[in-house]
Structures are given as structure tokens and as C-alpha cells.
Structure 1
Amino acid sequence: MPITDQFKDNKSLALTKRLIPWTICVLLPMALIHSFFYPLPFSPSPKTDLPHSTNNNITYRSSLSASPPSSAEKGKTKETKCDYCNGEWVSDSGSPLYNDTTCGTIKEGRNCITHGRPESGYLHWRWKPTQCNLPRFEPQTFLQHIKNKHVAFVGDSMARNQLESLLCMLATASTPNLVYNHKTGKDNQFSRWHFPSHNASVSLYWSPFLVHGVEKSSTNPNNNLYLDHVDERWANDMDQMDLIVLSFGHWLLLPAVYHEGDSVLGCHYCPGLNHTEIGFYIVLRKALRTTLNSIIERRGDKGNGIDVIVTTFSPHHFEGEWDKAGACPKTKPYRNAEKQLEGMDAEMRKIEIEEVEYAKAKAKRRLRLEALDVTKLALLRPDGHPGPYMNPFPFVNGNAGSVQNDCVHWCLPGPIDTWNEILLEMMKKWEKQSRNED
């Protein structure tokens, strides 16, 4: 071999020796990084594809099969709870699920479309929670959840308003049959509808105080409430109920005398009577506690269990006194910065939330209880009430100055449909959990 060629080979060998360590130092970390972010696909052994075999009620799985998560792991993977009470009303070009012609259960005073309300902007808003999306109501899904069950709405006219909304939305998927109806005056006070398609019943129980009460009359200007006795007009049927939706509060603002045990506890606005004025906050708390305690005692650990929803206080929007030509003329929702939850509305909601949490702490294992917190989202909808259209075509005769307004209840369709959309989401969540986990 020529010397020049030998020199070249020696030079190449020396260069190669110098490059090998450098190459290893560079490529090895790169290989490790690549394997970390892009692992090679793993092909299981054919043995692991054998079907699971069982013997003596024990399931044998491949060693490569994922083991079931522990209770601690389950807790880590639970979905974040959505706070439906915080959010904003956003414009929605979609149409309501129903209208005045597709639903035959709307109380006359809430049928704003039929009564001639000229603008329909109040129909085109949807509630957008801050933490999540609120799906559009699915009537078939709701009916499937209440299949072979009895849902009872118990309370005042706000309970009836929410029930009417629910019936209207469900009727788009399945026609309900009115199987029982008891009226006092023009109002349905005790009614029941049956959905043959799902063997499901939805009932209304008029009970404006939830506890036993004697309503005012021409001879007695005050309501009389017995705060330590639940109203048996609905509680007697408790064994037949699977879901109870409670809604009350507005009737507590009226003059009343409050009884507890064999004595008078006090009163609210009862001039001329020798009773202590105690307002209505303490009464709200006592009435709700008596009600929830009664449900726990009677149904907390019996049968297939029971679910209870407490719909929180829904604010009114009278501008002026309700009985002195007070009205609610706004045609758009408030923005969050425009209206704060405060005063009576905030206190009523606070008491209801506290009492639900107090009852949950002592509830027995077969009772599930939650608050349907609608106070804030209701506060932001001054445009959703019937207003003067609680009456048909109120301005036809030009008597605008003397028209009575309803700024408490809600047009149907209207914002209160959202109450039931949230209710369905709560039911979906419950469906994923066993009662023992709650």
C-alpha cells in the first residue's frame, strides 16, 4: 500500500474515533427524548387477546388489562361540577321548544303570545353559565329519566309556573293526559298528568307555605302558619313520590301570624294584634327545615329512595308598588354589572341554600337533595314577565293607566324554561351516581 493511502486511512480512523463519542453524546439524548414523547406502539401477545373467563363469580383478565380505578382515582377523574347559577344571558336566534299553540297547559295569565305581547325579543335569550354549557332541553331524555316515576311540584304559584313550563316542553315529545284536577276559583291547585308513553306522572300540589297553613279570608285578614307541622295535603302522598320539586317564598311576604307548638311565635305586619313582629326570614328557615326534616324522616331510608329539589327564590321586577300601577316595562335582560343580587332576594336565597346544606348533612343514604339555584339568573330577566299581558290585549281600549301588571310570574315560553333545563342536567348527574355515593 502506498504511504499516501496509508496516511489517509490512519487519518480517517483517527477522525472516526473522535466522532464516535460526540455522536453518542448527541444521538442518545435525542433517542431518549423521542421515546418519551413518541413511544413505540406495543403489540400485545396473542395470549392477551383471549376472552375473559369466569369461574366461581371471579373474573380473570389478562395481566395487561387495565385494573379498575381505585376510589381515590375515581375522585380525581370526576367531572368538575358546573355552577349553573353564575353566568349571563346571551342572544340566541333559535326558537323556543314550544309556543302558545303547541301547548294546552299554559295558565291563561302566562300566555303572553296569545294575549298580544307585540315584541318577542324576550324569547331569544339563553343562559350561558360561566363554567360550562347548558344544553337545550331534551324532552325525550327527561321522559326517560322519569319513566315509571312520579314527579311532584309542591309549593306556590311559582311551583305551578315551573310545572307548566315542564309540561309544555314534554308535550312536544309525548302528550300528557290530565287524570286529576281540583280547582279553587280559576286556579288548578291539585292536578296530575300522566304520560302513557313512559308510565310517568307529573303532579301539582298547592302548598304556599309547605307547612300547615290557613290562608287569609274575608273574616281573617292574616294567614296563619303552623311552623312545626308539614302540610299533609301533599305530605300524605309522599310515599308515592320519586322526585319532589319545592318552590315557595312569595306568600311569606303577606301579613301572617306564626304558630309553633301551642303558642304564637310572632307575626309579620299584624297591626292591632298583640304579637311580636318577627318578619319572614326566620319563618322561611323554619318552614323549610320542617319540610325537609319531614321528608328525611318519612322517606330518607325507605323504598327506592327519593330525590328532592329546592328551587330558590325568584325575584320580582315591579317598578313601583305592585298594587299601585307598578310595572315591569323593560324589554331586555340586565347585564351582570347592571344588577347585583342583594337585599331581600339575596337573603331569601341564602337561607334556602343554607337549609338545603343543613338537611344534606343529616339526610339518610337513600335521599338525594340539591338546590336549584335560579335567583341570580332570574334577577337578570326583568323582560320575561307577563306584565300587562297577564290580560288579553290590555291596551285595546286605551286604558293604559289602569292596567294591572304581573311582574312575578313568567311568560310561557320564557326564562323559566331554563329552570327545567338545569333540572334535567341535575338529574343526569344523579343518574351517573349511586345513592350510596351521595
Structure 2
Amino acid sequence: MSKVLAIDDDSIIRTLMSNSLTKAGYEVITAVDGESGLQKVIQEKPDLVVTDFQMPGMSGLDVITEIQRIQPGLPVILLTAHGDVALTIKSIQVGAYDFIEKPLQMQELLEVIRNGLEISYQSQTLTETISPEIRKAIEDNLLVGKTPVMREIFKNVGRVSLNKVNVLITGETGTGKELIARLIHYSGITRDHPLVVVNCSALHEDILENELFGYNMGAFPTAVSDKKGKFEQAGEGTIFLDDISELSDTMQTRLLRVIQELEFEKPGGDAPIPLKARIIAATNKDLEAMVKNGKFREELYYRLKVFTIAMPPLKNRKDDIEELVKHLMQKLNRKLNKKVLKIGNGVLDLLHSHDWPGNVRELENTLMQAMIMTRSDVLEKEHIVLLNRNTPVEPEQFELKSIADIEKVHIKKVLDKLKWNKVEASRVLDITRPTLNAKIAKYGLKHN
């Protein structure tokens, strides 16, 4: 019979776990705080520990850290009512087997315990080969989301950030693939080293080759000085290859060789340069289908997808919309020098009703436009302009709109709506009449 230690300062939670786990066939021991829990780890030698995060004295993270010191490999599940991205990643980094948010769903807890015990028993039969150094937690949340799929992604970020395996991030345009790459980089062992971003679709093959590998002076007639390539610039950090599916066959071959040999040659150089950086690649295409169609090298595909993270479209995680809106409003307030602090009635219902073909990027652009339009500290429903669901527009078009473009369109709409009554338009736009005249001139607006 497996022995489970439950640590929680809430007597109701302890009783609930004890009764449910006993009924499921486990021997259960309990502790009221971290200090007494660690004593029972030493005395009772449990097979698995479930601990609360926020307790008097030692926190759950402190308990996990100490357990990993005195009994490495003992699976620990962290419970919390205060979950966020940073805490999820930190718990995985310090050694938690899994992370569960309260209120407890006993079926979920029992499943996690069962899986944790199974993996623990398998681990005990193997020889330990690695002992990764745990880095400090990230200080900023670069992404938000509490839906199960996003919680699992954040756990995986915590796991993969502690080593340098290659990572392939897949997902539609606008789902946040680059943000995940940055989160992996800044969460773990690479955070003190450079993050270098390369857009594989933005450069011609010859230019991309020079950007990736660099060159020494004299390597070709126009090489009048030495140039460090992106692989060299990344050092022991991360090189993020966005739109990896757009690489030519020649560049795919060269990249495969770099990954295989863990070194690269710099044109005009005397010796190969070791590759010390981790490679994270991203794509919005189906690489597996491209492999089958002969458009992407199979061996490169498998070399890149050592660890895969699939970003879900926003329409599949609509429960995250409210949290995303609050997060993006804070970000946009800083960017736009605004103070839009409240969400008006009906706004969230309207946003939930949309399918978001451009995903989080479309949501951000929609909020940006609405926040520019608002005259108060309230994000109003009347300022939310959504893409017509029946109009096929590529999500990439959202990337091309500047704040000036949005402002120009909005000012023209207001003027036309008010039949070019500039006094009323100035009031609606919350700007002075001279400012309105200046913007009319700047954007070349004319009365129809």
C-alpha cells in the first residue's frame, strides 16, 4: 500500500484528502505545516507528498526545496488557491511533480497521485544520470492563462527551461509562440545569456545565411569587416528561429548539419565554431504534412522537435479572455499613455462571442483601437470593433496597423458620423479643436 503525506494548515482540506485517499486505497498521514511535514518525511518515509503553498512558517515551495535536498526524487504535488504563471513555473523548477489549483477536484488529485507514484516507482529502478541546477524563478509574467491547456504549457515551460534541448513551438499566427520562446529563455538556465530572434521568412536566402553564420573580413569581395552571425551572438543562450517552415532546402541542409555536428563554419574562418546555444523554432504550418509532401527535411524536423509545445487558438481557450483583457489593458495603458482601468458592461460577453481568427494578437489590436477611442477610464462596448466573421481576412493583416493608422480611420469615422461638425467631433474625441484640425491636415482627411 502506497503511503501519502498530506500537508495543509486547513483542517477541512486535510480531512477531505485523508478520507478520499484512504477510500482510494492509500495509507494517509497528515501534517499541519511545513516544519512538521518535513519531520514526517524523515520519520514515515512516504511515497508521495501533497502540500499546500500558503501556510504559516514554511511555504510549499520551501517544503519542496527541502524535500528535494533530503529525499531527492520523492514526488511532491503543490496545491494553491493563488496560481499564476510564475508560481506554476517556479514549482516545477524547484522539483514539484505537479501543480493543482484549489478548489480541489478529488478526481484530478487522485489521477495526479496515481501517475506520480507510477513514475516514482519507475524512477527508483533506474540510475540517476542528471542532476539539473535549479535556477531562480522568473520575476515577470510574460503570458497569462488558467485554462487546463495553458496550465499544462506553463508546467512544460518550467520543465524544459532547466535544460537546453531543442524546442519546436507550433500554433496559428497570433497565439503567442514568440512569447513562449521568451518565457522558456528567461525562466531557466539561459536567462543570463543572450536571446537572439531570427525571422526565417523575412530575409532572402543569401542574406539569411550571412545573418546566421556571419563572415570574416575578406570572405567575399564586399566583406570589408568581420561580422558575427546569430549563432555566434547567441553564445550560451537561445536562438529563436521563427517561421522555420520558410527555410529553403539549402538552408535546411545547413541548419541540420549545425544541429548534428553542434558546430558551424563561418565563411572566411579557419576553424569551426562550437554551437553552445539552445535552438527554439516556431511555425504556424503543419511541418509533419510538409515532410510527407517533401517540402521539409524529415531529419531536421525530428532534430527540432525534441520537445514540442502546441499553442492553442484563442477560440479554444475563451475562459482566458477576461484575464487576457486585464493583462493587455495594463500593457496598452503603458504603451498608449492612457488610464483605462475599468471594463464596461457587455464588453466581455461581446469578446467571448467572437471566434478570434487572429488569436491573441487580434484581441490586443482590438483592445488598442478601443482604448484609443475611449474618452474615459472605461473600456466601452461601443468602441469594440470586431472582424466580420464572414469576411476572410488573413490574421497577418493585423500586424501592419500602426497607432497612427488606427487613429486616422477612427477620426474619419467620427467626423463622417457627425457630418463634419468639428466642435462635436472634438468633444467626442476628447481633443481640442486645434488638435483636431492638425490631425485632419496630418492625415489628409477630406469631407466626402
TM over 0.5: no
Structure having greater relative contact order (Cα 8 Å, sep ≥ 6): 1
Identify the TM-score tier after normalising by the shorter chain: under 0.3
After TM superposition, the score normalised by the length of structure 1 is 0.27
When Rg is computed on C-alpha atoms for both structures, the one with the higher figure is 1
Going by fraction, where is helix more abundant, 1 or 2? 2
- Calculate the TM-score normalised by the size of structure 2: 0.27
